[in-house]
Chains A and B, each alone.
Chain A
Amino acid sequence: EDQVTQSPEALRLQEGESSSLNCSYTVSGLRGLFWYRQDPGKGPEFLFTLYSAGEEKEKERLKATLTKKESFLHITAPKPEDSATYLCAVQEFTGFQKLVFGTGTRLLVSP
């Protein structure tokens, strides 16, 4: 069965203090690994899709990387507006559109 584990559960950073979030996964056949951001009271907002080991994608202060067993979301010089819960999810080839989510990392960036 597909499994996704995210760490840490919560992370508190000072503005400008870079860090990384981890997503470890087990899936029979990876179609894609997704990163979403979720703000309180809202639905998840899409950030990135990664398809194969070695792939990297960037968007503003965020950079996502993928290996065969895990993905990292690197946050460079974060700002308070980056505070949110970051969710990782995997989609396998035989699951149609089903996503299996981790429980997320709650990020708080203090000014």
Chain B
Amino acid sequence: KAGVTQTPRYLIKTRGQQVTLSCSPISGHRSVSWYQQTPGQGLQFLFEYFSETQRNKGNFPGRFSGRQFSNSRSEMNVSTLELGDSALYLCASSLGQNSGANVLTFGAGSRLTVL
């Protein structure tokens, strides 16, 4: 069973540019969540998508956005990059059912460096 796949694994951008990260969830998983991980803040929740709809959002500026496609694949976009956006961006997928605590399976992450 294939895991969560994130692309690209590494990327370098300069301030002011924008970036798009991609996530392919585990087959059958309808929920995709995104997290930002930095040494100082740890893992911070960005947003969650389920059936192409954003159903929860963290405390990040509007420069951070995402979307989900009909095949459950998801992308997140960061516009007008700032130095502080340098981080490991993690995608996690789950069944997304609200009847219990679904296990989130994480991808290996996309390491973004902003110069």
Contacts and interface: CB of A to CB of B under 8 A. Distances in A.
A91 B92 CA distance: 14
Interface residues of A, number: 25
Interface residues of B, number: 29
Contact of A91 (B90, B96, B101): B101
A53 to B, nearest CB: 15
A16 interface: no
Contacts of B100: 31-32
Contacts of A101: 35, 42-44
Contacts of B96: 96-97
Contacts of B42: 87, 101-104
Interface string B39-69: 0011111001010000110100000000000
Interface string A3-30: 0000000000000000000000000000
A57 interface: no
Contact of B33 (A42, A45, A97): A97
Given A42-B108, A43-B106, A46-B105, A97 B94 contact: yes
A96 B50 contact: yes
A5 to B, nearest CB: 11
Contact of B48 (A44, A46, A96, A103): A96
B112 interface: no
B48 A87 contact: no
B71 interface: no
Interface of B: 4, 31, 33, 35, 41-45, 48, 50, 55-56, 58, 90, 92, 94, 96, 98, 100-109
5 contacts: A43-B92, A96-B56, A97-B104, A101-B35, A103-B42
